[in-house]
Each structure stands twice: as C-alpha cells, then as structure tokens.
Structure 1
Amino acid sequence: MPVEGQRDPAEVKVALERWLADKMPEASGVEITSLEVPQSSGFSNETFLLDARWTNPDGTDEAAELVLRSQPLVHKLFPESELLAHQYEVMQALYDTDVPVPRTRWAEDDPAVLGAPFFVMDRLHGLVPGDAPPYTVEGFVVDMTVDERNEWHRNAVEVLTRVGKVDWQAVGLHHLDQTHHGELGPEQRRNYFASYLEWATKGEQHPIAHPAFEWLMANWPDDGEHTALCWGDARPGNQMYRGTEVIGVFDWEMVSLGNPESDLGWWLFLQRYSTEGNGAPLLEGMLDRAQTIAEWERHMGRPATHVDFYEVLGGFQFCLVMVKLAEMYSMSLGPAALTMAVHNPVAAITAELIGIDMPPAPEPASA
C-alpha cells in the first residue's frame, strides 16, 4: 500500500520539459505530449510514463515513448540501494549483452529537478505477470495453454541464467564490489546481510529473521569461486513477455556480485510464495522446484550445489522486506499493521525451511 504523495502533474510536466530540453540542447520544440504521474510514494521506485517529441537539428521530427524511474521520496526497502548505480548503470552496461534490457536515455542525480535522482529509458510493450493477484491466480499466464505455459516458463528460467553468465568485469560493473563490507565473495555477502538485518529491524529481535540469519551463518558455503553478476529480484514479475518470449528484464535494485545460485534460490522462494503462500496450485505446465533447478543447471553448465542455502537466504531477505512494508503500512493503517512484519506467508515459509515454529498470532483487538 503506497503512502500518498504530493506531486502535481502540471508542475512535473513543466520541470521535465525544461530538463529534457537541457539534455538535448541542439533539438527544438521539446514537448511532453502525455504524462502519467504516480500519486503515491512508497518503498519501490516511482514509475512515470511519458510520451515526448522534438525536432532534431536536421529538421526531422522524433517521438519517443519513455519510462522514468525515480528513487522513492520517503521510504526504502534496502539500506544501500542507489537508483543510478544499481539500476541505470547496470542496465546501461547490459544493453549490448544478451540480457534483454530497455535502452537507457538519460540520468539525473540532482534532486532539485523532481525531488530525487531519476533516469529515463525507452518503453517496451509486452505483458508482465502480476503480483496482486499473483500471476498463478489471474492473468495471461493462467490463460495460456499448458504447452505455451511450459515454453514460457522455460524461457523465463533461461533468461535468468543469462545474468549469471555476463562478464561483469568486461562490461564495467566493478562499482558493485562492496569493499566496505569486506573481501568480494562470501565475506562481503555475510557482512552486507548482517548490516541489512540490523538496519531493517532497528536492532529488535525478529522471531523468524534472526533465527534464519543464525542458520545462514552456520551454513554459509565457501563458494567465492562462483562470484558473478546476480540480478537480485529474480522473478517472472520482473520480466516482460511477448507471447512466450522474454523481451525485458527490469528492477535491478537488489543487484549484487555473488553466487548466481542466489538468483535461483530467490526465484524458487518467490514461486513458492506465489503458489503455496497465496493458496494457489502450481499451474500445469510450469516447472516445479526440481525441474527449475534442472533447467538452471542445464543452461549454467554446472550443478546448483547450494540451492537449499540460497532458498533460505531468499526467505530471510523477503522477511526483511516485509518488516519494511509493515512499517510503511502502519503510516496509513496505524500500529496494528505492524503485526504483518511477522505474521505473513513469507515468514511462515521461511520458518518451515529452517525447521522452527511460527509464534502465536496476536489476539484481534476488541471492538
């Protein structure tokens, strides 16, 4: 649930037209002909849809359908997510690889323009699996035939594996090496997640996230030899499709350097959440857990040795996301919303993965 924002569409349009004109000083007649402004600000990056047109120096007219992504004004889901470094620069670096990302146009780090950093990319046209209701319940994936759904799901997993095969050094993503958290590899990942836990919970004990992190620390694999580019928020809902083909990969705010099995673990956890966590069956034709792992291994050319660990890591991360979401919801729904920080399907699945019980649900407030 978003927090109400205060953006005035007319003011945004004027500011963006001025900004676009500055970005294209040789063009004339720069105009935004259509603009959809989100009237909310929450944890996720805000998304603006705009159509623009201008006249090039050679007299030719040009029009573009664009998407603007702005850093959230109020809250954040992640302690170290920088919009330009973690999304714009990564998408820019990946544009000439086989990972399908939109073409990025411009970026702005001065908050004076819109109140926060933002970037602009070309708009793609396709279908994106939904989250609410989940794509396993309603939408184009449900409407597919069994054979189409199987082909769609296999294509989705294959594109997932492309990320882990990118030569991150060759494409210039050295800035993703979080040296302030230690040596690249397991040490860096452990220290990052320890700081994330402390930041998200403000030092208070969480009955699932803290035991999950203790489990992770006791079982962390020494797998630094597999350090590669990791998408982070790897799931069908962050891919765009035309038919059964993937035409776009989005949302790089969780991008990191680590073992690509972490993307597989997150993918598997999110699939379990979108089915079991929402009371929905796995649709016929979709890959089950074992089939997904086998497909990942086939395309990566190696076994997913630590997938069980990375599935727990996915649950741990998602638990921290739920803590921050509960914090946001409490701003509009009141303190009662804070109970969702613990009592939610994400925490229940994570507790099951590490073999602990969920705490009793709080008694409902009396009328």
Structure 2
Amino acid sequence: MTDEMRTSTRDLGELQDRVCTWLRGRIAGPVTVSELSRPSGNGMSSETLFFTANSQRCVARMAPAAEAVPVFPAYDLRAQFEIMRLARERAGIPAPRALWFEPDPEPLGTPFFVMEREDGEVPPDVMPYTMGGWLAEAAPGDRRRLQEATVAIVAALHDAPFAEPDLDVLGGRGLRAHVDAQRAYYAWAHADRPIPLLERAFDWLEAHWPADPGPDVLSWGDARIGNVMYRDFTPVAVLDWEMAAVGPRELDLGWMIFLHRFFQDIAVVFELPGLPGFMRREDVCRTYRELTGYEPRDMDFYETYAALRHGIIMARVWQRRIHFGEQPRPDDPDDLVMHRAALEELITG
C-alpha cells in the first residue's frame, strides 16, 4: 500500500493536444486546454484526467488501455455517465455535473466522459486514512458528522423515485444476478490462476443465502468514504459509479462497513490505533434505519460478500502490479487477497 500503482500507459502531452482538438467541436469560440494532469491517491480502475478548458475545471474518465491490464473486463462509460446524472437530478446526490460523453474511441483512443471538477478533501487509500491525516486527526464529533452524512447519501439514493427505464442501462436485477456477475468477473480475472479462498467464499454465500433478499434499489456499488469529496466534513462530490447496479439495499451498506474494516485492519497491522469507533455496523445501520425506515438485515452475509468482491478486485490489482514488475508473484495464490485473514475469519465464523 505504500507505492503508487500504475493506472495508465498514455502520454500526457499527447492527451492534452487531443483533448483540445476534441473540445473545439463542442465549445463555441477559441478553446484552450491547460493544467492537464493525473491525480494521485485513490482510483485504480479507469483512468482519470484533470484539466481546465478555458475557465471550466474538468475531470475526464477514460477506459484504460488494453496494455494497462485493466481491472475490469468492460467499462460502460455511458452507464456511468447516465447514472451519475440521474443520481444528481432525481436523488439530489452531489454527484459532479455531467458535461459530455464521447462514445467514439478515435479522439482519445478510448471512449470517455467529462464532468465538472469540485474542490475538497478525499480520505486517502494510500496511505490509508486510518493511519493519519485530516480525518484521523479530526474531532470525534466531526468524524461522526461525516459518517452520518455519508450514510445519508446512500439512504437518499436508495429512496429516490427512479423509473424502471432509468435503470435499464445497468442490466440485471437482484442479488442472484449480482452474485452471478461477480462469479463471471472472478472467472475472467483469475482463470489462469484460481484463488481457493475466493472460491470457498462463493460456496459460503450459497450456504448462507438470505431467505428474503429484500427490495431492489439503485446501488452505488462502490459506496465508501474514499469515493466522496468533503468540505468541512460535508459531502460535496460523490465519485466512482462504475460498479453501480440494481440490487438489495444491503449491498451498499455491507460494502461501506467492510471497506472501513479493510483500512482499519491495515492500521492495526502497523500497530496503530486507527479508527475503531468509525463506520461500525450498528451505527451505520441505525442511521440508515432512522433515515429510511428500513431495517437492514442479513448483514453477516453482505459484509462477507463485500469482502469477497473486494478480494476479487484487489487480487486483480496485485496481478497488474506483478505484470508491471512492481512486486513478485506469491507462491500461495490466496496471498493475492490482501485481507486474507479477514475473509477467512468471516467465512469460518
């Protein structure tokens, strides 16, 4: 977790020229593109660019080049663009304002979309926010305010009055479709070297399947504080919609709770206190219940499922690092799962 992970193989100078050429077909009058850069810190799947077009501060999200060993098999940028726009317009979620979607790969070498850039602070993944920094050093009341405001984002999204056609862009519905899609993703990501721990986790899910998975809602998919930008501990931008889906409410709640546990465990490994009182299951679920009137259920299942999903993703990320010579391949494939001990604990009770 200490080194910056490679997310792109594209040249920034060439990209700036191509962005400028593309924008001339969309902005009236002269166009100047400046300050084009890549962010550091969060984000390991799609490629992100910052730039200023005349006076408009922008963020572009691009599907990664094939030679960058993508984390996911496909990047439906149109779906991300549309869901982000709907979340802002229908649910009042502070998603960045969607500006343009470009399906043609010719201008930049891949499809992409552009959104408005916000200012604020994001709890970092590297080094994890549990190991220091503005959130770890905040007053307990401010951290609680941030936690409750973040749960409120998920509550508002789940309760938003989306029409059925709005969500057609996301495909399948329900928990079974979601888990089947994760199995397919696992097979794509790790077919060359299966990971026994993840396969045991899939078996655990089948043996502990919820009797009633509950109603389907729009699920953010990557619901965690590392995908939110804050000012004064208040969310101002909700980011990263590429894992959005339609499924039970608990998908987002389990992910939010487990992802904090993941970063908390890293702090503990380094003998740091971390934030043990932050994003606890009972607190997250209580706030959600107070906001929505819905009682989250089967949370053991959904937290274990979150750990499995995160394990598939992170094992793929580590394979990318191995491909680029950034770390050696472990002898035991289960060691590709960074949170191996946590997942083993969850599936053994």
Instruction: Give 2:290's match in structure 1, choosing from 287, 295, 298.
Output: 298
Instruction: Give 1:197's match in structure 2, choosing from 186, 189, 197.
Output: 186
Instruction: Give 2:215's match in structure 1, choosing from 226, 236, 257.
Output: 226
Q: Give the structure 1 partner of residue 113 of structure 2.
A: 119
What is the CA–CA distance in structure 2 between the aligned matches of 1:90 and 1:341, rounded to whole Å?
Answer: 36
What is the CA–CA distance in structure 2 between the aligned matches of 1:355 and 1:278, rounded to whole Å?
Answer: 23
- AA aligned to 1:276 is D
Q: What are the equivalent positions in structure 2 for 1:1-367 lying under 5 Å apart?
A: 1-3=4-6, 5-24=8-27, 27-37=28-38, 43-53=44-54, 63-73=55-65, 74-85=68-79, 87-96=80-89, 97-169=91-163, 172-178=166-172, 184-202=173-191, 204-223=193-212, 225-279=214-268, 280-283=272-275, 286-333=278-325, 336-338=328-330, 342-343=334-335, 344-355=337-348
Contact 1:43/1:75 (<8 A) preserved: no
Using the TM superposition, give the Cα deviation of residue 271 of structure 1 relative to its aligned residue in structure 2, in angstroms: 1.0
- AA aligned to 2:26 is K
Q: Give the structure 2 partner of residue 362 of structure 1.
A: none
Q: Identify if the C-alpha distance between structure 1 residues 133 and 341 changes in structure 2 by more than 3 Å, giving closer, same or farther.
A: farther
Contact 1:186/1:220 (<8 A) preserved: no
Contact 1:126/1:240 (<8 A) preserved: yes
- Matched length: 337
List alignment gaps of at least 5 residues for structure 1: 54-62, 179-183, 357-367
Using the TM superposition, give the Cα deviation of residue 37 of structure 1 relative to its aligned residue in structure 2, in angstroms: 4.6
Contact 1:161/1:299 (<8 A) preserved: yes
Q: Identify if the C-alpha distance between structure 1 residues 270 and 225 changes in structure 2 by more than 3 Å, giving closer, same or farther.
A: closer
SS of the aligned residue for 1:189 comes to helix
Using the TM superposition, give the Cα deviation of residue 287 of structure 1 relative to its aligned residue in structure 2, in angstroms: 4.1
What is the CA–CA distance in structure 1 between the aligned matches of 2:75 and 2:331, rounded to whole Å?
Answer: 26
What is the CA–CA distance in structure 2 between the aligned matches of 1:50 and 1:142, rounded to whole Å?
Answer: 30
- AA aligned to 1:15 is R
TM-score computed with the length of structure 2 as normaliser: 0.89
TM-score computed with the length of structure 1 as normaliser: 0.85
- 1:11-30: CA deviation from partner (whole Å, max 9, x where unpaired): 22221111101123xx1111
- AA aligned to 1:253 is E
What is the CA–CA distance in structure 1 between the aligned matches of 2:217 and 2:159, rounded to whole Å?
Answer: 7
What is the CA–CA distance in structure 1 between the aligned matches of 2:73 and 2:23, rounded to whole Å?
Answer: 30
SS of the aligned residue for 2:51 comes to strand
Contact 2:264/2:276 (<8 A) preserved: no
RMSD of aligned Cα (Å):
2.4
Name the larger-Rg structure. Answer: 1
What is the CA–CA distance in structure 2 between the aligned matches of 1:188 and 1:37, rounded to whole Å?
Answer: 35
- 1:192-212: CA deviation from partner (whole Å, max 9, x where unpaired): 122122222206442210010
Contact 1:68/1:118 (<8 A) preserved: yes
SS of the aligned residue for 1:28 comes to coil
What is the CA–CA distance in structure 1 between the aligned matches of 2:69 and 2:157, rounded to whole Å?
Answer: 28
Q: Identify if the C-alpha distance between structure 1 residues 288 and 6 changes in structure 2 by more than 3 Å, giving closer, same or farther.
A: closer
Q: Identify if the C-alpha distance between structure 1 residues 136 and 5 changes in structure 2 by more than 3 Å, giving closer, same or farther.
A: closer
- AA aligned to 1:249 is V
List alignment gaps of at least 5 residues for structure 2: none
What is the CA–CA distance in structure 2 between the aligned matches of 1:242 and 1:4, rounded to whole Å?
Answer: 27
Using the TM superposition, give the Cα deviation of residue 282 of structure 1 relative to its aligned residue in structure 2, in angstroms: 4.7
